[in-house]
């Protein structure tokens, strides 16, 4: 027998560059905020799942030691950019199965410790040891997509323009400055055709969630955000040809998530998707069937993915504007969806939002579209 699972608490610290703060000091305020938001006595939290990619050993214990929330099972999880969405998935599974009633999820990352530059990847990997960097992987997707479907540089740049405009309205966003297509295209090249403004900024941040079973939810809040689907999958290792214009792992994960949730793409009011680079968001419109293959550029240009459109994609500003401290991203996406579904998103509120989606995928390794992908669907 399984139980329904809801999010009853959400918290995050504004994303940005905080080189002077330790990982633990970055994260504990997000945890406190989530606990206060839920109105849960910290002593009732039965387990914690902490997602981070570069946080180092015992990240969860270091964070929770700061606030005395210890002596419970704390599991630290690494899954690249999907680290805390993976933590959320396992937290949901543990509640759904009846193992726990109240569980804490943390996502945290401190990227300023690397001093800038591209994300350090695993040198043991064949492609990485031969010069692969994340911008190059996405750049090749962009080039191939432009080649096959006639996507223009201006349409590509428009993703950054839209998400910066969204981020301007989000006090937790790292980039709070609007930009133009011209500025995006004139920013320095990182991996052609991608320019600096088409790449998510490196930064630090943390987010936290309190999730619980249907049984106890009414004790804390009258407006729990129900989790309709919690999907986690890995990429399929393919030594041969792969279609870089179709994110196979996300398409497969999305199909599973729609099935679990019992709804389809038309029902979604807002989606926080993994726009680590401009091209990514366009590929995900198609992977989630918000539009047909090859039509993402037009879908964006016609305003279907912003406020007033068919589905508001990345109302938070997404990774491009809110920032992408990678292990924190999945949890922070969930925080945004919860705030939107509760009607607490202030100036960037998606009117009448009832169904939200979050999607974090990542891991640049040879032979995989992506290493991991976790998708959640939520309802108020």
Partner 1 sequence: MNPEMSPSTEARLVGMHCTSCGAMAYPFQAVCPICMAEDAVAETDMPTTGTVYAFSTVHAAPKKWRLPYTVGYVDLPNGVRVFSHLDPEGLSVGAAVYASTGIVSGEAAEEPRSQLVFKAVREAK
Contact pattern for partner 1 over residues 210 through 249, marking x by CB under 8 A? ---------------------------x-xxxx-x-----
Stretch that binds partner 1, among 33-41, 66-74, 133-141, 225-233 (CB under 8 A): 133-141
Q: For partner 1, which stretch binds (CB under 8 A), given 24-32, 188-196, 220-228, 298-306?
A: 188-196
Backbone angles phi, psi at 82, to 5 degrees: -100, 15
Is residue 127 a contact point for partner 1 (CB under 8 A)? yes
CA trace torsion 304, 307, 313, 318 (10° rounding): 140
Q: Active site residue: 81, 199, 212, 291, which one?
A: 81
The verdict on 152 binding partner 1 (CB under 8 A) reads: no
* Catalytic (active site) residue 373: no
- Residues 190, 336 contacting (CB under 8 angstroms): no
Residue with tokens 């966003």: 173
For residues 96 and 99, what is the distance between their CA atoms, to the nearest angstrom?
8
As a dihedral over the C-alpha atoms of residue 26, residue 32, residue 34, residue 37, rounded to 10 degrees, the angle is -140
Supply the minimum distance, in Å, between the C-beta of residue 374 and partner 1.
24
Verify cis geometry, omega within 30 degrees of 0, for the bond prior to 333: no
- Exactly one of 122, 192, 223, 266 binds partner 1 (CB under 8 A); which one? 192
- In the complex, what is the shortest distance from the CB of residue 166 to partner 1, in angstroms, rounded to a whole number? 25
Q: Is 53 in the site for partner 1 (CB under 8 A)?
A: no
Stretch that binds partner 1, among 70-78, 142-150, 168-176, 309-317 (CB under 8 A): 142-150
Q: Which stretch binds partner 1 (CB under 8 A): 65-73, 104-112, 119-127, 252-260?
A: 119-127
Are 326 and 214 in contact by the 8 Å Cβ rule? The answer is no
DSSP, residue by residue, 86-132: HHHHHHHHHHHTTS-SEEEEEEEEEGGGGTSSSPPP-TTSHHHHTT-
Torsions phi, psi for 12 (to 5 deg): -155, 155
Report the residue from 73, 120, 171, 346 that binds partner 1 according to the rule CB under 8 A: 120
Residue 318 touches partner 1, criterion: CB under 8 A: no
Burial class (CB in 10 A: 0-12, 13-18, 19+), 240: exposed
Report how many residues bind partner 1 under the rule CB under 8 A.
Answer: 33
Give dist(CA 339, CA 349) in Å, integer.
9
Candidate list 62, 90, 96, 141; residue touching partner 1; CB under 8 A? 141
User: Min. distance of Cβ 242 from partner 1 in angstroms?
Assistant: 7
Q: By the criterion CB under 8 A, which residues form the site for partner 1? A: 117-118, 120, 126-127, 129-133, 135-136, 139-141, 143-144, 147, 188-194, 237, 239-242, 244, 366-367
Give the active site residues. Answer: 81
């Amino acid at each position: 027998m399984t139980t329904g699972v809801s999010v009853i608490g959400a918290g995050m610290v504004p994303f940005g560059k905080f080189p002077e703060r330790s990982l633990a000091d970055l994260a504990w305020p997000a945890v406190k905020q989530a606990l206060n938001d839920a109105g849960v006595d910290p002593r009732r939290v039965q387990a914690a799942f902490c997602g981070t990619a570069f946080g180092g050993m015992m990240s969860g214990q270091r964070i929770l030691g700061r606030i005395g929330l210890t002596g419970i099972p704390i599991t630290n999880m690494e899954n690249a950019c999907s680290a805390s969405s993976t933590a959320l998935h396992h937290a949901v599974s543990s509640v759904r199965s009846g193992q726990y009633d109240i569980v804490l999820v943390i996502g945290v990352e401190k990227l300023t410790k690397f001093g800038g530059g591209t994300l350090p990847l695993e040198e043991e990997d064949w492609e990485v040891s031969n010069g692969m960097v994340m911008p190059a992987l996405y750049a090749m997707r962009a080039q191939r997509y432009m080649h096959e479907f006639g996507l223009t540089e201006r349409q590509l740049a428009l993703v950054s323009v839209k998400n910066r405009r969204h981020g301007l309205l989000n006090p937790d966003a790292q980039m709070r400055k609007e930009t133009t297509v011209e500025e995006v295209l004139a920013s320095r090249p990182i991996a052609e055709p991608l320019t600096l403004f088409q790449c998510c900024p490196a930064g630090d941040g943390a987010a936290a969630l309190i999730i619980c079973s249907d049984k106890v939810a009414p004790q804390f809040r009258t407006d729990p955000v129900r989790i309709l689907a919690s999907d986690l999958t890995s990429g399929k290792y393919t030594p041969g040809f792969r279609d870089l214009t179709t994110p196979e792992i996300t398409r497969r994960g999305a199909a599973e998530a729609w099935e679990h949730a019992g709804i389809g793409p038309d029902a979604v009011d807002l989606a926080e998707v993994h726009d680590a680079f401009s091209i990514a968001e366009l590929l995900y419109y198609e992977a989630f069937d918000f539009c047909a293959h090859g039509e993402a550029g037009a879908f964006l240009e016609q305003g279907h993915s912003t406020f007033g459109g068919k589905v508001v994609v990345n109302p938070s500003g997404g990774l491009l504007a809110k920032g992408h401290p990678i292990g924190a991203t999945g949890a922070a996406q969930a925080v945004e969806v919860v705030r939107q579904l509760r009607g607490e998103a202030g100036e960037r509120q998606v009117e009448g939002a009832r169904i939200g989606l979050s999607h974090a995928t990542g891991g640049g390794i040879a032979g995989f579209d992506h290493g991991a992908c976790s998708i959640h669907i939520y309802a108020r």
